[in-house]
Structure 1
């Protein structure tokens, strides 16, 4: 993915350590936000209540707690209780393959041991996964023979797994110093028929399951979370219309279906079998097909090319004038930009970050030229920018009622000065940044002589693009009015408040508020 990310490396950290890190950050914000060892039992919905969902939970001591909330998110795994109680069908197929995964400290004479993950070809076990992970551990994975798995896998032992791993690495050696963890599992390639059913929303493995062949389990769950979190927060707070939650359903379900089709190919190829749809010749090399699938799907696999179709949140400008060639529904490209007076660049994605709470309107104002030694926008371009500035400050502007839904970031091509107003003639809209090399303008397909307006969603997806003109900024306002509840967001009101009450909890008959 050269040129599409500033992180040109591969890092493998096991999920339990990722969860610990996330848990630590959340508890720093609110020590009561995460409550573990609680079992979800049941729920009911009463639409006449301000908090329609009442969820029943079983605590560590066996007591039942009743939590009232507005929505119930089922992120409770492939055997989701939430999904089952909601009667949401989970169609799909069960793969015939049984997979081994283990983490261990090992010794081997493999030529590559602590570099990027590799696939080791094995006549007996197909393609063997070898991935160096954290703390000196290595993750090894392969398909287990049916005769060893038996009827239900209950006869498989740690010794069986280690012995098969040694065979899978032949003719290279493999010695186990310490086996931390192992598992043998079957694969269900399934996608829920609905990711949203009324007050119930599914995410992660509760919504889709697949093999670990393409390393997409946690990746896909994180994409679900980043797609859903800001939508759900906005609907609960009354910022967005409820149809925004239907966009989560359509966007992420389609993405999961695409992943399942990819996974079917990967799982079969890793096991050493070429799917029939490839119409491969009898002497075809299965690894060539596997590498071809991985190469073709690399962008989707690492998340940089996850994209969504046109919908309520992804709209094409209705006019004929194309101000930017960036694709609506696709990830907004990253680029190195300089803040006024800074000697070192910052990533565009850093400048638009807002804790996942705001849309960002990128104002590509055009290229500055040196006038009497000072970088300045050409007169015609400066006049257009000033016109936009005047409109945004006017009573008719959507910014008056929707100000907390978005933020402006002005991007100017060229090198700038400490005082941005000197370069553009008026105080800038939002933060100001200079594109020294033209990298951002090139990636967003913006002509420096014309400029553009590009709207990034809170999850970094391009939602809308329009010309740098009054018609363009008015079109941006209409875009927001399509899904933002009118006059519900006051200028200066907090958009995201950590620790706000989420409902009511009753334990042992006593009412208390949760934070």
Structure 2
């Protein structure tokens, strides 16, 4: 460590790690911070990005992840560069196509969940990071590279929310030491996270003896269907991944068994190519260009804490690792980033109580554990081994069982079924749903809507961008049936001392199950916020709202349902209670 006297600066939030999770977190915080109550965010990366960037690593974005990135205005730019994967194929050991195995679940992914993004976006991490860094730069964000954190101290005598964290870092270019003091630290620094290790947070789980190879490049093959997600049931290399990539490239991934490893004193690029050619037999394969390859082991681990000392967070691989078997790593990390950022922003803006920060771990941990449980089964099956807890036929075909497991996990893998337990953010309101629609803690579905006047088609998610505000959606139903309720509900909102606060972080949206020449003539009153017409009643249907009765839904800033209530005057009091338990209103 340098003996140079350490200069000191302060930032409100320090994000450690300049990969996708750290970048998406920083983008949100930079976007949410406003001129009336600004705060500072700094993101550090210990590697020079010119050498850290590579073609490999994560590639797949599933529907719910893309929906969240869409509400951050990032999905369109990613889609410009991506391979849109809508088709899959599985081949048995003889090269015969077999149905219902491997990645076949992807073809139905999101088809019954009302999403615009009912397919996978495939884009190598290198290109994703390019998009994220450009967005951060456009927002005035600050990413500093070749800055390695070497020590983190927390002074717990400093009040919660104060500058209680002291971070020591080394400049990789000059060797100079620097000290930064901050309110919060977010460790998004990967599976070997320094933040996690320095805070001595246990990383529970295990690393298996299994090894995997991944190789990317431009290939030639006689495989009949080569541009999609594929699986080849190899007797020597397990369930082989074949994934069409951006820029016309392909990824091949396979189990690197002990028997295969013993063939090589050194496993280099030539060896990776030779094994890839073997893995896809009986199909022929040659490489026109090799971009990247790696050999890695599978570690299924979860950090004991995602949030500690009221000021330190872990996100992404820093708090959970697993195989790439179901392509979940980046998706899970972005879910972490989106869940955390708006909560931290509201605390920094003094809009919400500090207690909402504990919901980050409470909500993300059960979903991460569910992912780990699936991953343990999937990673073993991909190496032609039955799961440890398998109680069925010991001679069962692992490839067949893998297809069943991946199909069972499909709604979770897509992210569309990820939900949260009841807490102060997810409150089962008085709205009577039965089995008709989503409940608190579930994702709010997308739906086709029409703008007034022009009747231009739009989507609900497109009209609800991520801005760290709660959206209160008034489903009016058919105004011919609900006008009396509408007038009294709207009057109660306008006389509410809570809803008249100018600094209240909410936005109103009105959705009518009918169109009209003007909102006033249609409703009998002016709408709350912007109005959209649901003339096909798809939005009402997807939220379980009877067009003869209407309803009111609160969507959290991350797009999950917070609570729901009927379209009645007393609902205003119910909404006030919900918000009082979360927000600082006085």
Q: Same fold (TM over 0.5)?
A: yes
- 2:488 match: 387
- SS of the residue 1:96 aligns to: strand
Segment drifting more, 320-329 vs 2-11: 320-329
- 1:190 match: 301
Contact 1:76/1:82 (8 A) holds in 2: yes
Which of 133, 138, 145 matches 1:28? Answer: 138
- SS of the residue 1:453 aligns to: strand
Distance in 2 (CA, whole Å) between partners of 1:235 and 1:415 is 40
How far is 1:88 from its partner? 0.8
Distance in 2 (CA, whole Å) between partners of 1:439 and 1:397 is 33
1:244 is aligned to 2:356: yes
How far is 1:221 from its partner? 0.3
1:449 is aligned to 2:553: no
TM score, norm. by length of structure 1: 0.88
Distance in 2 (CA, whole Å) between partners of 1:52 and 1:342 is 53
Deviations 1:325-369 (CA, angstroms, capped at 9, x unpaired): 42111100110001102333111011121x33111111011114x
- 1:74 match: 187
Contact 2:433/2:544 (8 A) holds in 1: no
- 2:42 match: none
How far is 1:102 from its partner? 1.1
How far is 1:403 from its partner? 4.8
TM score, norm. by length of structure 2: 0.77
- SS of the residue 2:520 aligns to: helix
Contact 1:420/1:427 (8 A) holds in 2: yes
The two structures, once aligned, show a CA RMSD in angstroms of 1.9
Deviations 1:475-510 (CA, angstroms, capped at 9, x unpaired): 1110111111222xxxxxxxxxxxxxxxxxxxxxxx
- 2:272 match: 161
- 2:158 match: 48
Distance in 2 (CA, whole Å) between partners of 1:247 and 1:150 is 48
Contact 1:324/1:452 (8 A) holds in 2: no
- SS of the residue 1:278 aligns to: coil
Q: Which aligned pairs between 1:270-289 and structure 2 lie closer than 5 A?
A: 270-289=382-401
Contact 1:274/1:280 (8 A) holds in 2: no
Q: Which aligned pairs between 1:8-407 and structure 2 lie closer than 5 A?
A: 8-30=118-140, 32-46=141-155, 47-48=157-158, 50-59=162-171, 60-114=173-227, 116-149=228-261, 155-198=266-309, 199-317=311-429, 325-353=437-465, 355-368=466-479, 377-378=480-481, 381-394=482-495, 396-401=496-501, 403-407=503-507
How far is 1:16 from its partner? 1.0
CA distance change for structure 1 residues 306 and 195 in 2, over 3 Å: closer, same or farther? Answer: same
How far is 1:387 from its partner? 1.5
Distance in 2 (CA, whole Å) between partners of 1:203 and 1:356 is 21
Which of 558, 576, 586 matches 1:459? Answer: 558
Distance in 2 (CA, whole Å) between partners of 1:297 and 1:402 is 44
- SS of the residue 1:464 aligns to: strand
CA distance change for structure 1 residues 194 and 150 in 2, over 3 Å: closer, same or farther? Answer: farther
How far is 1:147 from its partner? 3.9
Contact 1:74/1:206 (8 A) holds in 2: yes
Long gaps (5+) in structure 1: 369-376, 488-515
Contact 1:119/1:128 (8 A) holds in 2: yes
Paired residues, number: 471
Contact 1:453/1:466 (8 A) holds in 2: yes
Contact 1:389/1:429 (8 A) holds in 2: yes
Contact 1:326/1:445 (8 A) holds in 2: yes
Contact 2:430/2:564 (8 A) holds in 1: no
Contact 2:554/2:564 (8 A) holds in 1: yes
Long gaps (5+) in structure 2: 1-109
How far is 1:148 from its partner? 4.1
Deviations 1:225-274 (CA, angstroms, capped at 9, x unpaired): 01001001111221111111100011111111110000001101111111
- SS of the residue 1:104 aligns to: strand
Distance in 1 (CA, whole Å) between partners of 2:406 and 2:398 is 13
CA distance change for structure 1 residues 42 and 154 in 2, over 3 Å: closer, same or farther? Answer: farther
Distance in 2 (CA, whole Å) between partners of 1:126 and 1:432 is 54
Contact 1:98/1:143 (8 A) holds in 2: yes
- 1:372 match: none
